[in-house]
């Protein structure tokens, strides 16, 4: 209860309070992080972007 008053007075979250920690990922985010098919597709998309930059720089 005291942290809420401090946050309101100072304008930012007090260290180690609940509001200063990262949010919990949604179920959809957790699914995408663990889905092998999605990771393979994202890998090739990234690899193609890198190859486009590398090939474009050498021509």
The residue ranking higher by pLDDT, 55 or 3, is: 55
CA 14 to chain centre: 23
pLDDT at 57 (0 to 100): 81
H helix or E strand, kind and range, residue 5: helix 2-10
The 10s digit of each residue's pLDDT in 10-49 is 566 667 777 777 889 999 999 999 999 999 999 999 999 9
Which pLDDT belongs to residue 21?
77
């Amino acid at each position: 209860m005291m942290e809420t008053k401090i946050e309101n007075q100072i304008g930012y979250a007090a260290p180690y309070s609940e509001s200063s920690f990262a949010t919990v990922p949604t179920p959809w985010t957790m699914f995408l992080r663990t889905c092998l098919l999605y990771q393979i597709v994202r890998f090739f998309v990234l690899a193609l972007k890198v190859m486009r930059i590398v090939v474009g720089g050498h021509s």
